[in-house]
């Protein structure tokens, strides 16, 4: 797996500034005031820093922006990275600054003269997250990223607060790796094996094979994968860090590749369907984070792993399948497969674990892209308290989320002539009818959210904290939700 940069926190030692190799980073407030580290750099470079601060270029910089002074006289460093940042930045400003530092660092060693700036741990998190690279399948010789060290006034305290953030970064990286992997590598077998390996972190991991799923009556999930040579599976990951209370449940859609099945997608863009397991990837990343930081909560993560392929054995439009709950489903469109997977896994999670609440995640509908683009995930819920708590957590973590409407009136669009329900309601309100379908498999009085992450799981251009590709959206928000609402 791709691992975040190891960041060391050290005491401030201005005597090594002149000889530090690679790149030096300093922070300058909006008013151009210099701290001890910056003043040392300014002296060594014969006021080159002062001249830059008097320029229009510095004036145009926003909070968190960086600019480089290349090959400064008086220093061994190849560049000084000037970061415009308040001494007491907001969390999002600090992370932005860290991300910009990661981009400016390149492959060089980086020494960050952070001094007594607040939120050095958040700056380090932003740096770690933006430093992600997915180059596993490139054959060119890989250049390792340089070492990173932060010189801070209180290194032990900063290292202590940064430790759980390092766990978050590793969880995000795990999610990104899974979502970026091609489908010929991340098969259902390989996916399950990667999750099983997390037992080394203290997670209890159980893999339910097709025979187990048949005995449980998961006809809705099994129909999706019946056209593929890859076996369908459900993986259950349990973290028991709390007391005796019932767990919170996370459920993820894990379609490792989605052709659409018999309702075949068009060729253009089908290669992007390697990310259709993004919901399961987020669940896996959250569970990894919880285990790494030893969360004092009970959380169970369940993912349904399938591949949706056309073949002589594939489910057909017009087929009727029976869910674990017992409801019959008329399959109108085999490309509306994610909800068929989630229906059975959600019901199983409730039957077995009796959770205190449940959130499912899925790259479920193209309709959510039309509604919200790539800025926000769609939040559908039967609980104001849970949805408000999640959106608050997402906002604090800088992950866009927007609550969408639900209502019984939409259920009429899912009525079937020959079965209890159809799996799709037509073109209009597509993401809402998908949520209404899922709500049918949520027990009464259970707080529940459905997160449609089709627009945010993987994107074509870089975001604030990630390069183009998988974002890892949701790991930070869900980790915060659990920490704020469910930890002892």
The CA-based dihedral angle spanning residues 52, 55, 59, 63, taken in that order and rounded to the nearest 10 degrees = -10
254: helix, strand or coil = strand
Beta bridge partners, 153, equal: none
Catalytic residue, chosen from 265, 296, 392, 485, is 265
Kindly tell me the sign of the dihedral angle through the C-alpha atoms of 170, 365, 195, 481: positive
479: helix, strand or coil = helix
Burial of 14 (C-beta count, 10 Å sphere; 0-12/13-18/19+)? middle
* Residue-wise DSSP of 380-393: EES-HHHHHHHHHH
276: helix, strand or coil = coil
1 closest CA partner among 172, 173, 139, 186? 173
CA 307 to CA 324: how far, in whole Å? 19
For the record, the structure tokens of 35 come out as 């701290």
- H/E stretch holding 362 reads strand 357-362
For the record, the structure tokens of 251 come out as 């459920």
Whether the CB-CB separation of 390 and 479 falls below 8 Å is answered with: no
CA 242 to CA 43: how far, in whole Å? 53
431 closest CA partner among 377, 375, 374, 389? 377
265 counts as catalytic: yes
CA 36 to CA 135: how far, in whole Å? 39
Question: CB atoms < 10 A from the CB of 401, how many?
Answer: 25
Catalytic residue, chosen from 95, 176, 293, 339, is 339
322 counts as catalytic: no
99: helix, strand or coil = helix
Alpha-carbon separation of residue 102 from 39, 81, 125, 294, 467 (angstroms): 23, 11, 10, 28, 11
CA 186 to CA 182: how far, in whole Å? 6
Write out the catalytic residue numbers. 265, 339
């Amino acid at each position: 797996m791709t691992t975040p940069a190891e960041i060391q926190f050290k005491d401030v030692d201005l005597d090594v500034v002149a000889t530090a190799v690679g790149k030096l980073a300093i922070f300058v407030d909006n008013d151009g005031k210099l701290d001890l580290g910056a003043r040392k750099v300014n002296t060594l470079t014969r006021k080159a820093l002062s001249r830059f601060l008097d320029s229009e270029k510095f004036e145009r910089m926003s909070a968190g922006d960086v600019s480089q002074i290349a090959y400064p006289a008086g220093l061994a460093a190849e560049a000084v990275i000037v970061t415009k940042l308040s001494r007491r930045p907001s969390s999002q400003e600090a992370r932005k600054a860290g991300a910009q530092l990661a981009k400016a660092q390149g492959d060089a060693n980086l020494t960050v003269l952070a001094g007594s700036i607040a939120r050095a741990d958040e700056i380090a998190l932003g740096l770690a997250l933006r430093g992600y690279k997915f180059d596993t399948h490139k054959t060119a010789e890989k250049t390792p990223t340089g070492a990173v060290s932060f010189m801070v006034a209180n290194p032990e305290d900063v290292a202590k607060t940064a430790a759980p953030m390092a766990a978050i970064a590793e969880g995000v990286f795990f999610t990104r790796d899974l979502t970026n992997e091609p489908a010929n590598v991340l098969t259902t077998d390989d996916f399950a094996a990667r999750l099983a390996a997390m037992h080394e972190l203290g997670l209890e991991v159980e893999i339910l094979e097709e025979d187990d799923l048949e005995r449980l009556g998961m006809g809705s999930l099994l129909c999706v994968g019946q056209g593929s040579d890859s076996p369908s599976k459900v993986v259950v990951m349990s973290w028991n860090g709390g007391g005796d209370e019932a767990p919170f449940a996370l459920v993820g859609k894990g379609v490792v590749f989605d052709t659409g099945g018999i309702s075949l997608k068009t060729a253009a863009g089908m290669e992007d369907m390697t990310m259709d397991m993004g919901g399961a990837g987020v669940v896996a990343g959250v569970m990894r984070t919880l285990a790494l930081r030893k969360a004092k909560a009970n959380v169970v993560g369940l993912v349904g792993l399938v591949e949706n392929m056309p073949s002589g054995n594939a489910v057909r439009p017009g087929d009727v399948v029976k869910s674990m709950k017992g409801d019959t489903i008329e399959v109108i469109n085999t490309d509306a497969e994610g909800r068929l997977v989630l229906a059975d896994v959600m019901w199983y999670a409730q039957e077995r674990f009796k959770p205190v609440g449940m959130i499912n995640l899925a790259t479920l509908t193209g309709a959510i892209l039309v509604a919200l683009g790539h800025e926000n995930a769609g939040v559908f819920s039967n609980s104001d308290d849970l949805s408000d708590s999640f959106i608050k957590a997402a906002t604090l973590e800088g992950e866009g989320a927007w609550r969408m409407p639900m209502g019984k009136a939409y259920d009429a669009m899912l009525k079937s002539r020959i079965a209890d329900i159809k799996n799709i309601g037509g073109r209009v309100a597509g993401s809402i009818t998908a949520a209404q379908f899922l709500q049918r498999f949520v027990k009464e009085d259970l707080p529940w959210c459905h997160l449609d992450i089709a627009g945010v799981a993987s994107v074509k251009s870089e975001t604030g904290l990630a390069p183009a590709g998988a974002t890892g959206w949701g790991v930070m928000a869900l980790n915060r939700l659990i920490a704020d609402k469910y930890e002892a």
